[in-house]
Structure 1
Amino acid sequence: MYDDLNLYIDGAWRAASDGGTRGVHDPATEDQLGTIAVATEADLDAALSAAQAGFAEWRRVGTWDRGAALRRVAQLIRDRTEDIARVMSLETGKPLAEARGETRAAADQFDWYAEETKRIYGQIIEGRTPDSRMQVIYQPVGVVAAFSAWNFPALLPARKIAAALGAGCAVIVKPAGEAPGSCAALVQACHDAGIPAGAVGFVTGNSQMIAEKLVRSPIVRKVSVTGSVPVGKEILHLAADGVKKVSMELGGHGPVVVFDDVDAEAVAEACANTKFRNCGQVCISPTRFYVHESKYDRFATRFAEVARGLKLGRGLDDGVQMGPMANRRGLTTIGEMTADALDRGAELLAGGQRPKDLNHGYFFEPTVLGRVPDDARVMIDEPFGPIAPITTFRDYDEVIARANSLPFGLAGYVFSNDLARATRAWEDLEVGMVGVNEMLLATAEAPFGGVKESGMGREGGSLGLMDYLDPKYVKIKLAPKD
């Protein structure tokens, strides 16, 4: 049902050198599913050495052949969708339909970069003199250390692995310990597709030790992180000592601005269904709802109705629309945020507690809070869970200032049928991604990332490849004519 997982080093799966393991648990039942290997420093040294050799081989593979290999990976992932989705649902609790969709999205990453690897274009610069030639080429940065999160355990590492391989880099991926199985399946697909030994590595265990070892190693020249803001800052400090190339997709707190010219009920339904996807554990989740005061009552009422109608349960069960949170610490945080908002005068419109009919697992009811003050914790700290705070606004300048008031800047959303106002709003929001009358932003062909403390660099799209490449400028002086 769930396999114990080893390390993947130099083209082979192997146990930790000292035999160490750690449990992986089902968040819906709290039962242990299996174990992961706990890498030692010796194991990481072996992974780094293998990656160095793998990079030397993989970077010399022609772009058409690289692309063909990545397409094979994509097809293998699609062929194994059911198996991968089942593992993902077990280790994250997300509904099986969501897990299938994520698995297909992970395959899309490999398909996209199978094509982009053939489009790493350089630049010709016109020389100032007839005997000079200037050009810019792009070369793979080298060995990449990639750190992924648990909320999308296949898609997030796929973005990193596919882009790194597409650029000609080698990559050592460290998935989240809560949900490593989906990433392991991607690595197995790379192995079966014929990606050379060492070009892809997979290590699990002590996150802090692994991060320090990999990021400090002179072999690693690029670091990619998806995680929380505090984790990102720690890794950024480590990378600075070695002047490493870094890209980071960190936390967010997505503002949603709902103007007075929209169908409030329809917008509320779209927002609620998106908010509670993956139990609200989505970095670009809509998390602060600013609704024009004339539309508040209808919006809040419909939002709460949708929340109360969601079916909770184990992700593998039929008809389940929302599973558990991934871990107990998140469950505790959402409970504390709810209590804090209510203490500050917010209205409880739906949920607010653990469901009485689910005695095991990390379940929390889809929770909707109305007229939430801006100083409530849920309006300031990222609420990574099934909690939706709604508040009101009166005029444009006021709501944009409130939406931009936090240090986060990942995603934002605007709902308006007025083209001029919607355009002003998406331009004025201080975020890396904006949905206008749309909430589903992530797709393989578009750049994904934020500004301010939400990160740097981009994953996905053509820009995602550039973070794994270094430009090299060449100037040539021609010999004099005879």
Structure 2
Amino acid sequence: MTTYPELQLYIAGAWRSGKDTIPVLNPADESVIGALPIASRADLDDALEAAGRGFKIWSQTAPAKRAEVILRAVALMKARSEEIAHSITLEHGKPIAQARLEVQRGCEFFEWDAGEAVRAYGRVIPSAPDIRYIVIHQPVGTVAAFSPWNFPMSQPARKIAGALASGCSIILKAAEETPAGALHIARAFHEAGLPAGVLNLVFGVPSDISSYLIPKEQVRLVAFTGSTAVGKHLTEIASRSVTPVLMELGGHAPVIVCDDVDPEVAAALSVSRKARNAGQVCTSPTRFFVHKDIYRPFLNAFAERARAIRIGDGFDSATDMGPVANHRRVEAIESLVEDARARGARILAGGERPAGKGYFYPLTVAAELPDGARALEIEPFGPLALINPVDSIDEAIEQANALPFGLAAYGFTHSARNAHLLAERIEAGNVSINTLEASVAETPFGGVKESGYGREGGAEGLHHYMTVKNISHRMVL
């Protein structure tokens, strides 16, 4: 099953084509697999009007009923998981096994938020006998959401799940390179009976759509996942109308490997996670700070396993890692590797783009990078691991915190003291010890510093999609 769906806009509960289209490519062979419709200004105006109507209906729908509709859509997505996974591998390139896991993860986001929909509790504040203070949570309104290309289904799922569970309507601008995941979600909700206008799906030039939608009075929240630079720009646009934002931005995740762990075990886990999604994950482990006493065995084990990672078409069962998503990522990684090499870093695996079609780049290991190497400062967002020795855990934490990013961080240790130091002192929204899993549906996910603002997932995940209202009620006049 390798067919690719017909791509359409979804506005006001109906499917429509666009006057203009752009091609969607398979990154494994650079072939054209689809024609993406571009939303016009008229389409965006229709989406805004439809979202306003949809919000009036959906915000007054009982939370239990919202959850019922969400779970019906989830059942449809699960029934079509193989079809959705094939679409993801075609447009993104990741191995089909990873695409299947992505569909499962996206469904988990919907299931968790459907449960949270009925648990958005308020509170009653104790006061004088004749007055009652009540705090309630209400949906914020229409959400303008923007999802990236690295997870075609699960990234849109985070935004749509939070908005719908909270009672908001949403206009989602999904990624141009990987639009099918969001399309499959919209299809499921259409068939599940979601009222028209509650979910609208558009595509187009990102800057054109964001600059048009964000300033509109109807938009009450901007939810974005992507680069720090773009997130800052969108936040600036939103600030002009005092529109709140939910920003999940870039990372450059550090990994601290202490001297009390098995270096080969830590290296094996690290290579496996680094290769996931070809390193195109905002939480991908990238900057490794390894205690000098186990540095050599860790480095050798890591490099050996990295060289064994097989790159290829995602539908080939022998493939460990697919292509990167587009030519821009290849060029970015090549530039960072060449800079590291020129500054004296050792390249122990990969480091050269293979010949032939497709946006392939091998898992690359750069060791002993000097200060000033661009790769240590710029998030590679690709299959590049940077490994340096450190003298102590204090030095490692200092290096981990040296950048303006703070999304995810990892540590390997068997020491309770070390684990406490890592958890307390690393500046990141998500710190994982002896695991490279940064988040699951039931935990809050987001960053600090320039890695973003707000949280998705967990009990905290709906907070940004809702406003807090205090009600003062005096019993008698």
- 1:444 aligned partner: 441
Distance 1:121 1:59 in 2: 16
- 1:250 aligned partner: 249
How far apart are 1:3 and its partner, in Å? 2.7
**Secondary structure of 2:273's match?**
helix
Summarize deviations over 1:347-398 as a string: whole Å, max 9, x none.
Answer: 1111111124xx1011011111111223211111001111111001002222
- 1:65 aligned partner: 65
How far apart are 1:441 and its partner, in Å? 2.0
Distance 1:64 1:364 in 2: 47
How far apart are 1:442 and its partner, in Å? 2.3
- 1:430 aligned partner: 427
How far apart are 1:12 and its partner, in Å? 0.6
Distance 1:325 1:221 in 2: 35
Partners of 1:170 and 1:199 within 8 A in 2? yes
**Secondary structure of 1:50's match?**
helix
Partners of 2:430 and 2:445 within 8 A in 1? yes
Distance 1:141 1:213 in 2: 20
Question: Which of 372, 377, 385 is the equivalent residue of 1:375?
Answer: 372
How far apart are 1:176 and its partner, in Å? 0.7
**Secondary structure of 1:47's match?**
helix
- 1:230 aligned partner: 229
Distance 1:134 1:78 in 2: 43
Summarize deviations over 1:3-54 as a string: whole Å, max 9, x none.
Answer: 33111000011012xx111111111111111111111111100000000000
Q: Which amino acid aligns with 1:142?
A: G
Q: Which amino acid aligns with 1:6?
A: Q
2:99 aligned with 1:92, yes or no? no
Distance 1:396 1:298 in 2: 18
Question: Which of 454, 458, 463 is the equivalent residue of 2:460?
Answer: 463
- 2:357 aligned partner: 360
Q: Which amino acid aligns with 1:294?
A: D
Q: How does 1:29-44 map to 2 (within 5 A)?
A: 29-44=29-44
What residue ranges of structure 1 are gaps of 5+ in the alignment? Answer: none
Partners of 1:346 and 1:371 within 8 A in 2? yes
Q: How does 1:375-394 map to 2 (within 5 A)?
A: 375-394=372-391
Question: Which of 413, 417, 422 is the equivalent residue of 2:410?
Answer: 413
Partners of 1:116 and 1:166 within 8 A in 2? yes
Question: Which of 396, 403, 408 is the equivalent residue of 2:393?
Answer: 396
How far apart are 1:418 and its partner, in Å? 0.4
Identity %: 46
How far apart are 1:208 and its partner, in Å? 0.7
The 4+ residue runs of structure 1 with deviation greater than 2 A are: none
The TM-score with structure 1 as length reference comes to 0.97
Partners of 2:430 and 2:439 within 8 A in 1? no
Q: CA RMSD in A?
A: 0.9
**Secondary structure of 1:73's match?**
helix
Distance 1:317 1:416 in 2: 36
Q: Which amino acid aligns with 1:89?
A: T
Summarize deviations over 1:141-175 as a string: whole Å, max 9, x none.
Answer: 00001100000111111011011000000011111
Distance 1:239 1:81 in 2: 36
- 2:125 aligned partner: 125
Distance 1:163 1:366 in 2: 34
How far apart are 1:111 and its partner, in Å? 0.8
Distance 1:441 1:70 in 2: 25
2:346 aligned with 1:344, yes or no? no
- 1:116 aligned partner: 116
Distance 2:392 2:424 in 1: 17
Partners of 1:77 and 1:104 within 8 A in 2? no
Partners of 1:374 and 1:380 within 8 A in 2? no
Summarize deviations over 1:402-439 as a string: whole Å, max 9, x none.
Answer: 11010100000011100111111121000000110000
- 2:4 aligned partner: 2
Partners of 2:95 and 2:315 within 8 A in 1? yes
Question: Which has the larger displacement, 396-405 or 51-60?
Answer: 396-405
Partners of 1:149 and 1:175 within 8 A in 2? yes
Distance 2:86 2:246 in 1: 30
Report how many residues are paired.
475
Distance 2:373 2:11 in 1: 47
How far apart are 1:307 and its partner, in Å? 0.9
**Secondary structure of 1:173's match?**
strand
How far apart are 1:267 and its partner, in Å? 0.1
Distance 2:419 2:353 in 1: 38
- 1:83 aligned partner: 83
Partners of 2:278 and 2:382 within 8 A in 1? yes
